[in-house]
Amino acid sequence: MLDLTQDIRSLTEFKRNTSELVDNLKRTKHPLVLTVNGKAELVVQDAESYQALLNAAELLETLKGIKRGLEQMQAGQGRPAEDFFAEIFEQLDDV
C-alpha cells in the first residue's frame, strides 16, 4: 500500500540514492512514486510485489469472466454444458 508521507520522491532523489531507495522498496514492499517537476511520472516497485499485483489482476479478470457467464446464464443466453461438449466431441469425431 502506498504511504503518501513516505513513498513519493523526486526522480533526481531516486537517481542520487538509488541503492538506498531500492533496498527500502524491497524491505517495505511499498511502491515508490517518482515525480518530475513536482508531478507524478513513474511508479517503481520490487519485482515480487509487481508479480503479486499481476496475479491479483489475473484473478480479478477470471472472476469477472465467471460473473459475466453466470449473468448470461441467468438471462437465458447460455446453453447446457452437455450440449456444448456433445457438439465439440461430434466435431472431433469428424476430424
What residues make up the domain containing 39?
8-45
Share of the chain above pLDDT 90, in %: 81
Residues 18 and 38 in one domain: yes
55 shares a domain with 22: no
74 belongs to a structural domain = yes
Of the candidates 13, 2, 1, 9, the one whose C-alpha atom is nearest the C-alpha of residue 41 is 9
> Which three cell numbers, joined as nine digits, stand for 64?
469477472
In total, how many domains does the chain have? Answer: 2
As a whole-number percent, the residues of the chain with pLDDT over 70 amount to: 100
Provide the greatest CA pair distance for the chain.
67
Q: Please give the backbone phi and psi of residue 77, each rounded to the nearest 5 degrees, phi first.
A: -95, -5
Is residue 40 domain-shared with residue 54, that is, in the same domain? Answer: no
One domain for residues 39 and 55: no
Mean pLDDT score across all residues of the chain: 93
Q: How confident is the model at residue 2 (pLDDT cuts 50, 70, 90)?
A: confident
